[in-house]
Amino acid sequence: MVKYKIYFVFLLCFVLFGCRKNESASGGKASISGFVEFTGIINGIYVSNAHISRNTVVYIKYDATTFPGTDVSQYDSQQNVDSKGNFNFGLMFEGNYYLYATGDYIDGYGYSYAVSGGTQVNITTRKANLNYDIAVKP
């Protein structure tokens, strides 16, 4: 009888302490992709859906429903956009995330303008492939 109690206690400990929540939010099957674009007025000229420079970075904050701020050290992961302004965070779990992009818009004359912006994302299904464009402004 004592033997079964020991097995039961061991099994109970294994079940209770063996399960952990994945704090990194990485390792799931969902993905968040999109495009960073600038739409606004620069020097009195309206610019629409303009490409941003390659050094633009998209930051992601796990378990966030509001803007975490401009301090990029508060974000959990990051990636540079490609030459067309695209980004993709793969292997995500269900949950709330905040995307924040910061970088430069370069006009046709070569002048550079610092831009930033963000959006909140909610993954509701396990294998979701979401597309969220991030609008940035000076």
Residue-wise pLDDT for 5-63, tens only, equals 555 545 444 444 544 444 445 578 999 999 999 888 888 888 887 778 778 999 999 99
Residue 9 lies in a domain: no
Residue 16 domain flag: no
CATH number of the domain at 57, please: 2.60.40.10
Does residue 15 sit within a domain?
no
54 within domain boundaries: yes
The percentage of residues in the chain with a pLDDT greater than 70, rounded to a whole number, is 81
Residue 84 φ/ψ region, left for φ over 0, alpha for ψ in the -120 to 50 degree band, beta for the rest:
alpha
Cβ neighbours around 83 below 10 Å, total: 8
Domain-embedded: residue 120: yes
Mean pLDDT of all residues belonging to the chain = 83
Q: Cβ(30)–Cβ(59) under 8 Å?
A: no
Q: What is the mean pLDDT of residues 66-80?
A: 96
Q: How far apart are CA 88 and CA 67, in angstroms?
A: 20
Residue 52 tokens, joined: 């941003």
Q: Is residue 35 part of a domain?
A: yes
DSSP designation for 73: G
Q: Determine, yes or no, domain membership for 114.
A: yes
Identify whether 1 is part of a domain: no
Q: State the total domains in the chain.
A: 1
Residue 22 pLDDT: 42
pLDDT class for 134, splitting at 50, 70, 90?
very high
Q: Which amino acid is at 109?
A: Y
Q: By the 8 A CB rule, do 54 and 79 touch? A: no
* CA 42 – CA 62 distance, rounded (Å): 33
The boundaries of the domain holding residue 62 are 26-136
pTM: predicted TM-score of the whole model, two decimal places: 0.78
